[in-house]
Chain A
Amino acid sequence: MVSEFHEAYSNRHQLAEGWKQAGAKIFGYFCNYTPEELIYSAGMIPVRIRGSSENIDLADAYLPTFCCSYMRSALDQALKGGYSYLDGVVFPKTCDMTRALYDIWRRNIKLPYYWFLPVPGKRTDEAVELFTHELRLFKESLEGYSNQEINDESLRQAIRVYNENRTLVAEVYQLGLSDNHPLSGSQVFGILLAGLIMPKEEHNAMLRRLLDSLPAPNTFPGNGTRLLVAGNNFENIELLQTLEECGGEMVIDDLDIGTRYYGSTVDENSEPLQALAERYLRKTPCPCMHPAEPRLERMLELARSYRVRGVILVIQKYCDTHLYERPWIESRLKEAGLPVLSVEHSDTGWASGKFKTMVQAFIEMLE
């Protein structure tokens, strides 16, 4: 049953086409700084725009090749019509690429709705105030588009559904605290991916079923060498499978689609827009935010509580904000006694002999 998650992710375009035919409106979004709750409360299905392992054919006429493979690949899929089921796309301004891609998508991919969401780069009270204002503008725009009022109640309902999702995923993560955990890192990764592309209440239902049906603890053999996987922009499960083949295992992550996305719930007792703004600006930050320390501190905390032996740092090639932080992150992790295997990737080659050899050597060194 756990395989259903990754299968759903693999079939995400077909699934979305199906919802579309059933009358749903589907909104694509980039980046974990999009407050999906607003889209959800307008009665639409938010789906994360992802890259793919397919060849990039058309995007090069619109985007230099020295841009990240994620954005090139997403644009390429859209140019080939792979995202024609979308009713709209939301681009939060987090990195320079999301800003540029807003323009390029808007001109070249004809969709009914586009929104550019300004996101502050700080987490101060003033930044939260500005972001609350921006969320109000976004909300009004969504109401105009969907012809549906987003009132406090619908927004609170969306927040509850999303918080439940965060809590359920947190339960999945907690399984990894044990040395005899019932789910492998690659299975957990499938769960994380599925949550990006399906309605949250469906993901919640699947998660509840999964958590209810897990076999009792202590029925599992020991798992692989405990690893924290940090980085961004990969969706190819082969990375996790290779770690496992080589005797390692992701037990916790610092990923844009992992703890940085599923962590931190929204305060259900505050004014909803303000609560959303606070949650998004004050969650574990991605490197587009200032200051950077909270992410490192969170990573060290996770590494301690999950008793990891080493860190796999997989950063998207050409992802500037991550790459600026990398030397510092690496040295601070090493100071904390955590060896680091650092890789710049284009989300390919995870099953290659070259990568396997690197991972094997790294894991042997940890043991």
Chain B
Amino acid sequence: MESTQDKQIAQTKPGRLAASAALATLNEDYYRDLANAKEEGRPVVWITSMAPIEMVYAFDGIPFLPENYAALCSSRKVAAEFCQAGEARGYSQDLCSYALCTFGSIFENRGPFGDEAPRAPDILLATEGACATHPKWWEAMQRHYDCPLFIVDAVYTVDGETLPAHHKEYFAAQLRELASFMEEHTKRKFDMDRLREVVALSDRASELWDEIDDLRKAIPTPISQIDVFTCLFALVTLKGTKEPVAFYEQLRDEVKERVDNGIGFVPNERFRLIWDLFPIYHNMRLLNYFAEFGAAFVTDFYGNAFSGRLDASDPFGSLAERYLSFFMRSAQWGKAELYRKRVREYHVDGIVFHSNRCCRCFTAEQPDIGNILREELGLPGLMFEANMVDPRGYDDAQVKGRIESFIEMLEARKYPKEAGIK
């Protein structure tokens, strides 16, 4: 049965996603809007990931995510210089490289294309919804730009699943306060109906993202991890506008068509893996190295954090729930349950942990999650260190050697006959 499938896949190796062209247009349009924001009188709001971006679009603002920007710098191979420039200003080399790279760029006023740093923000909006370092980073930028800063305090609870009412209310009250703050600093009126529209669009983008993620369960899996990370841009930055909805509908249809026709991203898919967690922006091609051994990533625990369902009939309440209870905020037992479920539903053979040296928040628990998955499910794991943005010190040959050994081990487990093991 396996060999029949192999033949079929070999005949139908997919090309580039047709949706990529649409994504390129979205990217260009976004950066044009950003460049023209001042002229068009639209406020530019620098936000952290996991901040309520919907509030920015409700004020017709343009959100700018320095994290996204640092990723761009990294892929443009300027991150090492920018991180160094950040260090020269006294920031530790161990800090989040999204932050360090952004610091270098804005302090030196240099951009990724030999140009200048992004235009200064009109407003800074942060939350510790993801990590406790975000507000600190934003405070530092506030001192640099001397512009208004609002921090939405997203208090961590014992787990993300059982959200107590008083936490939801505390968060929602801050959103109301944020609305007044935005009114004051944008000179625009807050419009609840407009927020409802934005929330509905954001919800729809997430719904489509979840559908696409669901399609990755197919054997063979239809889409590459690089494509997933690339296509995530619309969900991260444009969620709450019409554009990602149209884009993800197109992408979903294309991915579904591949699934219906049994087309896999990796010709002759032999291993199905989970990617945990951050991309390595300076070396995205590493993901393809796995494909050389027939290993495909079938899900990841990064992109899905940006998807969150909302309810337009209760914008503040549902935003509070969404930004307080996404899975990355789960306690270990919640995370472990999610990982177990994924392993089962996506027919996973192993998990790859990118131990992201600059991020304690989302890497500190990786070893023990790995312990749980090994002890309970016998799931093999590979853990290797890198830095998501800063390429300095990254040893490609060593990492590839580790990957090869890992694949050999998977081979011996899954295909003992072919591996020569009786």
Contacts and interface: CB of A to CB of B under 8 A. Distances in A.
A93 B366 contact: no
A94 B156 CA distance: 9
Given A118-B158, A121-B135, A121-B151, A100 B166 contact: no
A317 B358 CA distance: 12
B8 interface: no
B344 to A, nearest CB: 21
Contacts of A121: 128, 132, 135, 151, 153, 155
Interface in A123-155: 126-127, 129-130, 133
Given A103-B331, A323-B91, A328-B143, A130 B371 contact: no
A357 interface: no
Given A62-B368, A103-B365, A323-B91, A96 B139 contact: no
Given A122-B153, A320-B96, A323-B95, A108 B364 contact: no
Given A116-B331, A318-B94, A320-B136, A100 B155 contact: no
A35 B389 CA distance: 39
A67 B364 contact: yes
Interface string B129-141: 0011101110110
Interface residues of A, number: 50
Interface string A101-119: 1111011100000001011
A62 B92 contact: no
Contacts of A122: 151, 153
Contacts of B140: 324-325, 327-328
A320 B360 contact: yes
B156 A93 contact: yes
A321 B128 CA distance: 12
Contacts of A87: none
A96 B132 contact: yes
A147 to B, nearest CB: 22
A99 interface: yes
B364 A100 contact: yes
Interface string B187-207: 000000000000000000000
A121 B133 CA distance: 11
Given A103-B368, A107-B368, A290 B153 contact: yes
Nearest to B331: A103
Given A321-B133, A323-B91, A324-B136, A290 B151 contact: yes
A288 interface: yes
B416 interface: no
A104 B367 CA distance: 10
Contacts of B366: 64
B156 A118 contact: yes
Contacts of B135: 121, 290
Contacts of B17: none
A97 interface: yes
A64 B364 CA distance: 6
Contact of B167 (A96, A118, A287, A328): A118
Contact of B155 (A93, A96, A102, A342): A93
A52 B89 CA distance: 32
Contacts of B167: 118, 130
A118 B153 contact: no
Given A126-B173, A326-B92, A327-B90, A288 B365 contact: no
Contacts of A342: 90
Contacts of A129: 170
Interface in B226-282: none
B332 interface: yes
Contacts of B166: 130, 133
Nearest to B133: A320
Top 9 closest A-B pairs, CB basis? A327-B90, A103-B332, A324-B136, A100-B364, A96-B361, A116-B158, A323-B92, A93-B156, A320-B133
26 contacts: A61-B367, A64-B367, A66-B94, A66-B363, A96-B131, A96-B361, A103-B331, A103-B365, A104-B368, A106-B332, A107-B332, A108-B368, A118-B155, A120-B155, A120-B170, A121-B155, A126-B174, A318-B360, A320-B133, A323-B95, A324-B91, A324-B95, A324-B99, A324-B139, A327-B90, A327-B91
Interface of A: 61-64, 66-67, 93-97, 99-104, 106-108, 116, 118-122, 126-127, 129-130, 133, 287-288, 290-292, 317-318, 320-321, 323-328, 330-331, 342, 344
Interface of B: 89-92, 94-96, 99, 128, 131-133, 135-137, 139-140, 143, 151, 153, 155-158, 166-167, 170, 173-174, 331-333, 355, 357-358, 360-361, 363-368, 371-372, 385
